A = this chain, B = another copy of it.
Amino acid sequence: MPSPPPAAFLDAVAAAFPADFLTRDPAELAEYGKDWTKVYAPAPCAVALPRETAEVARIVKLSAEHGVAIVPSGGRTGLAGGAVAAKGELVVSLARMRRMDPVDVLGATVRVQAGAITEAVHQHCAPSGLTWPVDFASKGSSTVGGNIATNAGGVKVIRYGLTRQWVLGLEVVLANGDVLELNGALEKNNTGVDLRQLFIGSEGTLGVVTAATLKLTRLPGKLDVFLFAVPDLAATIRLFREARRAPFTLMAYEFFTAACLARVQRHRKLRSPFAEPSSHYVLVEVENADQDALESWTARLFEGGIITDGVLAQHASQASELWALREGISESLSATGMPHKNDIALPVAALEGFSAELDGVFGRRYPGWEICVFGHIGDGNLHVNVMKPDDMDKAAFLAKAKEADHDMFALVKKHGGSISAEHGIGLLKRDYLSYSRTPEEIAVMRAIKGALDPKGLLNPGKVLPG
C-alpha cells in the first residue's frame, strides 16, 4: 500500500486548489502510478491533475516546501519505467492539459499544452497541409510532453530526426516552481546556452514540461511502401546503402526477422505477402519517387541478390497492411508471450560486426530460445526481444535475462553503441548507465541535477543510479 502524503501537505493542497485537483482513489493511484513497462508495482501517494501551467507551478512549489517527491506524467507509454511512481511520490499528470492553439500557417508552428496527444496534434495540423513529424506506434496515447521528456524517436527518424528537432518553444516548471518560457517560436536564437536542450530527453528529472511551440513541416508528398524479403542481416545493410543512394527521399527503413513476422501473423491474423518465408524482411517507404526509377531500382536489387522477393503497395490500404506487419510487432510479442525487451543503437557502420558477436552471446546465454529482433537500421537502432521459453518460470527468466544483458551491453559498449536508443533510462536501465556514459559524464549529469533540483524531488531515482 502506498504511504499517504503528509497531512499538512494535503491540507495545503485542499486550501489552494479545486476539490477535483487531487485524487487518492486506489484505482486511479494504480492507473497513474505505472507506465507500459509493467515490471514495477505502482505506489504513488496521490495524483494531481492540474489544468493550467500556473497550477503545475504551485503544486511543484508546494511539494518542494513539504519535501514531497514528484513524478511528472504524460501518456505513460514509456518502456523504461520513467513515469512509474513506485515509492510514494506524487504523480503530477498533464492529462487535463490538452489544449492546442490554432496552427500558425505562415510560421509553420503550433502551440500546445504538454498533455496533447501525439496523434491529436497530427489531426489538428493536417488540414493546414502541415504535420509534426514525430511518429511512432504509441502515438494514440503518448503526449507531447512525454515525447519531449524522452526525446522520442520512432519510425521516421531517418527522414525527420528526433523530437528535439521539432520543438521551438518550451515551457518548463522548475523544481522551485519557477516557470521558464524558452525560445518562443524562434528558429534561430543564439543567446547563450540553449536551456530547452537540457529538458528534452531528461525524463522529468530536471523540470516539468507544461507546453511547447512545435515546429511543423509540410505533409509528405506521394509515398511508396515496399516490403522486401532479404536473405540475411548483411543484405539488409547492403539494401540500406542502395536505398540511400537511390533517387528518392527515404522516409523509413525498417527491418524485422522471421520470428517477429510469425508472432504478428499469429496475433493479428495477418497474411505474409510472400509465398516463401525469408529470414529477414525490410519495409522501405520513399517519397516522391518516379515509378520508372523505382522499377529499375528494384530490378537491380533482384539481380544483385540483395533481395529475394518484394512487394510494392498498390494503394493506401495495402501500404497500411505492410506497415501493420512492422508496427504490430511490439504489441504482438507481448500478446503472444513474454518478451524481455532491449532497445539498443549502434553506429550504422558497426551493425554487422556487432550482430555477429551478439549471435555468440545469444548462443551461450539463450541456447535455443526465440529471439525477435526488429528496428530502424537507418539510424542504427535495434529492438532485441528475448522471448520467455514456455516451460520457464517468469522470475527465473527475468533473472537470466538481466544477467545476459551485461554481456550484450558490454558488446554494445565495445562497438560504440547505446544501451537505450529511444526508450530512455528511467528505472529499468539505471543500473546499466555506465555501459553508455563515462564516470566523467555521469559526474557532469549529477552536477546539473544538483544545480537544477538541489533537493532531488523531481522524478527521484530515475536515470542516475542512487
Q: Are the C-beta atoms of A433 and B193 separated by less than 8 Å?
A: no
C-alpha spacing A352/B63, complex, angstroms = 44
Q: Contacts of A433 on B, CB cut-off 8 Å?
A: 191-192
**A295 CA to B381 CA in the complex, in Å?**
43
Whether B421 lies near A188 (C-beta < 8 A) is yes
Q: Are B165 and A188 in contact (CB under 8 A)?
A: no
When A106-B349, A190-B421 are in contact, do A184 and B416 touch as well, CB less than 8 Å? yes
Bound: A182/B80 CA distance, A: 22
Contact string against B for A residues 406-446, beta-carbon threshold 8 Å, 1 for contact and 0 otherwise: 00000000001111111111000100010011101101110
Q: Is the beta-carbon distance between B191 and A425 smaller than 8 angstroms?
A: yes
State the Cβ distance, A422 to closest chain B Cβ, in Å: 5
Query: Closest chain B residue to A463 by CB distance?
Result: B192
Binary interface encoding of chain A residues 192-207 relative to chain B, with 1 for a CB under 8 A from any of its CBs, else 0: 1111011011110110
Which label, helix, strand, loop or mixed, suits the secondary structure of the A interface? Answer: loop
**Contact sample, A vs B, 16 pairs, CB 8 Å cutoff:** A106-B348, A107-B348, A107-B380, A108-B348, A109-B349, A174-B440, A184-B416, A185-B349, A186-B347, A187-B345, A190-B425, A191-B429, A192-B202, A193-B206, A194-B200, A450-B451
Q: Which of A147-170 contact B (CB under 8 A)?
A: 150-151, 153, 157, 161-162, 164-165
Q: A104 vs B237: C-alpha distance in the bound complex, in angstroms?
A: 14
Which residues of the partner chain B approach A193 to less than 8 Å between Cβ atoms? 198, 201-202, 205-206, 445, 448, 463
Interface string of A220-242 (1 = CB under 8 A from B): 00000000000000000100110
- Interface: A244 (CB within 8 A): yes
Tell me if A179 counts as interface (CB < 8 A to partner B): yes
Question: Which residues of A36-64 are within 8 A (CB) of B?
Answer: none
In whole angstroms, how far apart are the Cα atoms of A198 and B192 in the complex? 10
- Interchain residue pairs A-B with the least CB separation, the first 8: A197-B197, A189-B418, A185-B347, A187-B379, A188-B421, A447-B451, A107-B349, A107-B348
CA distance A181 to B416 in the complex (A): 11
User: Which of A's residues lie within 8 Å of B, judged by CB?
Assistant: 104, 106-109, 129, 150-151, 153, 157, 161-162, 164-165, 174, 178-182, 184-195, 197-198, 200-203, 205-206, 218, 237, 240-241, 244-245, 345-349, 376, 379-381, 416-425, 429, 433, 436-438, 440-441, 443-445, 447-448, 450-452, 463-464
Decide if A188 touches B381 in the complex (CB within 8 Å): yes
Contact of A109 among B184, B347, B420, B436 (CB under 8 A): B347
**Contact for A420 among B106, B184, B190, B245, CB less than 8 A:** B190
| Cα separation A463 to B191 with both chains bound (whole Å) | 8
Nearest chain-B residue to A432 (Cβ)?
A: B191
Residue in chain B with minimal CB distance to A376:
B188
Residue of B nearest to A417 (CB): B186
CB <8 Å contact, B451 and A448 = yes
Tell which of B179, B188, B202, B429 touches A440, judged by Cβ atoms closer than 8 Å: B179
Residues in chain B near residue A194, CB distance under 8 A: 151, 164, 197, 200-201
Q: What is the CB-to-nearest-CB distance from A62 to chain B, in angstroms, rounded to a whole number? A: 18
In this complex, what residue of B is CB-closest to A203?
B192
Which residue of chain B is the closest to A215 with respect to CB atoms?
B161
Docked Cα-Cα span, A431 to B153, in Å, equals: 39
Cβ-neighbour of A181 out of B106, B347, B438 (below 8 A): B438
CB distance from A11 to the nearest CB of B (A): 29
**In the complex, chain B residues whose CB is within 8 Å of the CB of A165:** 161, 165
Whole-angstrom CA separation of A91 from B186 in the bound complex? 33
Closest chain B CB from A355 CB (angstroms): 14
Report chain B residues within 8 Å CB of A445.
Answer: 192-193, 195
Question: In whole angstroms, what is the CA distance A448 to B197 when docked?
Answer: 13
Determine whether the beta carbon of B186 is less than 8 Å from that of A416.
yes
How far is B444's CA from A184's CA once the two chains are assembled, in angstroms? 17
A379–B188 Cα gap in the complex (Å)? Answer: 7
